[in-house]
């Protein structure tokens, strides 16, 4: 509500903590309400991504050969590097919650910053992957057109008579449509997460958090772990298996 004070309660009860919103009775209630809200949001996120996973499953089921050829376009080494980077950022995110609970302010600032840096590193790698694909013309839908000499070496090794034109008529554009949608939506989530970590860092700098009021750190970490979990699935499904 527009005012955060509650005149009726403040006369009879001991002073309310300043972090406690007027419609809650205590900080426990407030913390667990926020957390339940975040978990419901995460459930929503899973079903949001579910559409893309379904599209992946359907097209993979119907065009197995295509997925086999096209996965060579993705460099699994870069994917693995990104996996490790995101796993480490998950560790620092979990650690930042611990720091907030123990009121270790320096530790909190360091872990928040590290999480942000890892997320940034992830996006840099992603940027190089994307620009390479756009450069050789490995794009979505009808716009897919890769010259035969630009095909991945591993693909040509196994199938020497493969050409870019052949892949195009097989519908390689669909694979890249799914690849770009899945990693793109995931990338948007990473960017949003980076923005929120800046906000958290500023709040931590101002000393807003303590052992009974750190819901924001905890909930953002939960969000960050879900982003990580989605990548845990995307990496093998897109980069590794063909």
Site for other proteins in 140-199 (CB under 8 A): 140-143, 171, 173-174, 177-178, 180-181, 185
Check residue 103 for interaction with other proteins (CB under 8 A): yes
| Pairwise CA distance, residues 190 & 115, whole Å | 11
Check residue 28 for interaction with other proteins (CB under 8 A): yes
Please pick, from the candidates 14, 15, 47, 65, the single residue that binds other proteins as defined by CB under 8 A.
47
- Cβ neighbours of 14 (radius 10 Å): 6
Q: What are residue 55's DSSP bridge partners?
A: none
Evaluate whether 119 touches 194 at the Cβ level (below 8 Å): yes
Q: Select from 97-105, 127-135, 145-153, 198-206 the region that touches other proteins (CB under 8 A).
A: 97-105
DSSP 159: -
| Pairwise CA distance, residues 96 & 115, whole Å | 9
Please pick, from the candidates 17, 32, 127, 207, the single residue that binds other proteins as defined by CB under 8 A.
32
Residue 61: C-alpha distances to residues 19, 143, 155, 233, 234 (Å): 52, 23, 21, 17, 16
Judged by CB under 8 A, the chain residues 217 through 236 that form the site for other proteins are 218, 221-222, 225, 228-229, 232-233, 235-236
* Token pair in block for residue 7: 């005149």
Of residues 116 and 180, the one with the C-beta less far from other proteins: 180
Of residues 201 and 233, the one with the C-beta less far from other proteins: 233
| 22 phi, psi to nearest 5 deg | -65, -20
Check residue 52 for interaction with other proteins (CB under 8 A): yes
Check residue 2 for interaction with other proteins (CB under 8 A): yes
Check residue 39 for interaction with other proteins (CB under 8 A): yes
């Amino acid at each position: 509500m527009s005012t955060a004070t509650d005149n009726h309660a403040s006369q009879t009860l001991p002073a309310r903590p300043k972090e406690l919103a007027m419609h809650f009775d205590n900080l426990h209630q407030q913390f667990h309400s926020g957390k339940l809200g975040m978990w419901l949001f995460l459930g929503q996120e899973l079903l949001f991504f579910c559409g893309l996973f379904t599209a992946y499953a359907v097209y993979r089921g119907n065009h197995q050969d295509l997925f086999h050829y096209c996965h060579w376009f993705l460099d699994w080494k870069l994917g693995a590097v990104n996996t490790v980077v995101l796993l480490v950022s998950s560790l620092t995110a979990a650690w930042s919650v611990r720091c907030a609970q123990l009121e270790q302010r320096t530790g909190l600032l360091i872990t928040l910053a590290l999480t942000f840096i890892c997320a940034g590193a992830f996006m840099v790698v992603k940027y190089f992957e994307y620009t390479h694909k756009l450069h050789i013309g490995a794009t979505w839908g009808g716009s897919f057109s890769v010259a035969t000499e630009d095909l991945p070496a591993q693909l040509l090794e196994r199938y020497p008579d493969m050409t870019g034109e052949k892949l195009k008529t097989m519908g390689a554009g669909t694979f890249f449509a799914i690849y770009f949608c899945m990693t793109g939506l995931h990338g948007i989530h990473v960017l949003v997460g980076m923005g929120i970590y800046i906000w958290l860092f500023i709040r931590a700098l101002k000393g807003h958090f303590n052992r009974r009021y750190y819901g924001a750190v905890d909930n953002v970490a939960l969000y960050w772990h879900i982003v990580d979990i989605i990548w845990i699935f995307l990496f093998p499904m897109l980069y590794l298996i063909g």
